A = this chain, B = another copy of it.
């Protein structure tokens, strides 16, 4: 696991932007969700998810529990919100506090396994847990933290031999997405309908004060996620002010040179993270362009145009006169969770893609000088890509040193519009003809999104739908009520962090089928 720390970075603040952010009001929507049933861990042979129903949940009755007892409550759907517990006692007056341990899980594994068994590389503090000591009963507790969960394991650490407790639970959800705007996909294909529903729900759960990457983890605004969330949002909830707020959040504090951070914190105040990713910085351009096209909000475009150009400028040193993007060692660009992947070609593609998008912004701004400058740069970058990476014989983009053929490389070359349409369609056709063992594929839903979009862009509609059904449909078949940060069809327990419990099971970058369906008329 690699972490960037850049202790010497100093950020400059645009106070006008910070003032604008304060004026953007984000409406929050709430719903009350009650438990649906009591479940218990079961042998794998009995239940694919690892849990089976053992009792119903009657909201009027609640759950009666003895000391040392444990139950797993299933709320029936993924919830993001505040949990309240109404706790009463039965028997003698409570002569000792009631002590409860609550463990929240987006998935069964988080409530089946003990958090003590966690062995991952990310902070164990993301595992959602509360230890409650209640001195006086009855009491209704409104838990202060927001949780993302479907399952809640409750362990009565102890009461006393003289009394039992009764619990009534509820969750008040929180989202800045108006659920009333969720639309059913107009198709008879039930799997596509379900994929569409789950992708909209995924987006909704991640829409909070900002577009979060995941409501369980990292609960934070990342640029790479924002870009895709914004697209899905335009196709569904239309909370455009939330996109605007997020764009200003990135622009309000940048490095001296104007680079935006890969992600920002908004509490206790706006703080950009000291992590920078070349692709994420460049995607500020694309996100601003999409926003402007959706809203025609000229004021925002004018405000943030300089920030968009700054992303070009801060990364320009990495573009050699030959047109090669020189990629430094280390965690410089994200692209995908993919150790064997040679990222060079994909990065080249993202530069070309972003330069083209910036050129469009410059055109809207009637900044002809920049349009001309970019025309030259794009040509050089494309020329380099075609001469150095495009392999005529194979009809594919091939890493010159390792001879690696990778889906991310083809994807970003296609999305960036390198070559003519025939070349790009040939590339995809040749790629589809290869066996899995011959190529480096996609790992994250984020990379799958780009691959599918490249296919759709070039008209490979049937193949795109097949992949969506296999990949996002695979999560649905594995019980997903929201789409996951990580999904390896060949190993559903895989985690890039060394422990599946820490994976986010409601993750923004997986929410795009609802966008792809509508953008490309799949129904």
Select A133's contact among B99, B129, B133, B217, beta carbons within 8 Å.
B129
Question: A400 within 8 Å of B by Cβ?
Answer: no
Oligomeric state, in copies: 2
Q: Is A138 an interface residue (CB 8 A)?
A: yes
* Given known A-B contacts A7-B91, A92-B274, A268 and B138 have beta carbons under 8 A apart: yes
CB distance from A310 to the nearest CB of B (A): 21
Chain B min CB distance to A260 (Å): 15
A158 proximal to B (CB < 8 A) = yes
A273: Cβ under 8 A from any B Cβ = yes
Question: A97 at interface (Cβ–Cβ under 8 A)?
Answer: yes
In the bound assembly, the distance between CA atoms of A219 and B135 in angstroms comes to: 10
A294 at the interface (CB under 8 A from B): no
A104-147 residues with Cβ-Cβ distance < 8 A to B are 122-126, 129-131, 133, 135-138, 145
Contact B273 A95, beta carbon cutoff 8 Å: yes
Cβ A92 vs Cβ B7 within 8 A = yes
Say yes or no for A159: interface residue by CB 8 A criterion.
yes
- As a 0/1 sequence over residues 237 to 275 of chain A, the CB contacts with chain B under 8 angstroms (1 = contact) are 000000000000000000000000000010110011110
A93 contacts partner chain B, Cβ-Cβ < 8 Å? yes
Interface presence of A98 (CB below 8 A): yes
Assess the B159–A125 pair: CB atoms within 8 A.
yes
Residues in B with CB closer than 8 Å to A372 are none
A274 touches B93 (CB 8 A): yes
A174 to chain B, nearest CB (A): 14
Q: Which of A256-299 contact B (CB under 8 A)?
A: 265, 267-268, 271-274
Q: Is A157 located at the chain interface by the 8 A CB criterion?
A: yes
Say if the beta carbon of A26 comes within 8 Å of chain B: no
Q: Could you tell me the distance between the alpha carbons of A94 and B220 in the complex, rounded to whole angstroms?
A: 11
Measured between beta carbons, the chain B residues less than 8 angstroms from A138 are: 268
Question: CB of A463 within 8 A of chain B?
Answer: no
- Partner pick for A135 among B145, B157, B162, CB 8 A cutoff: B145
Known: A3-B161, A136-B268, A268-B136. A273 touches B92 (CB 8 A): yes
Nearest first, the 5 closest Cβ-Cβ pairs linking A and B are A96-B123, A131-B131, A99-B125, A124-B158, A97-B125
Given contacts A95-B273, A123-B161, A135-B219, 6 further A-B contacts (CB under 8 A): A93-B271, A93-B272, A93-B274, A125-B158, A137-B268, A138-B268
Q: Please name 13 pairs of A and B residues whose Cβ atoms are closer than 8 Å in the assembled complex, sorted by A.
A: A3-B160, A5-B91, A7-B92, A95-B273, A96-B122, A96-B123, A96-B217, A123-B158, A123-B159, A125-B160, A129-B131, A135-B145, A136-B267
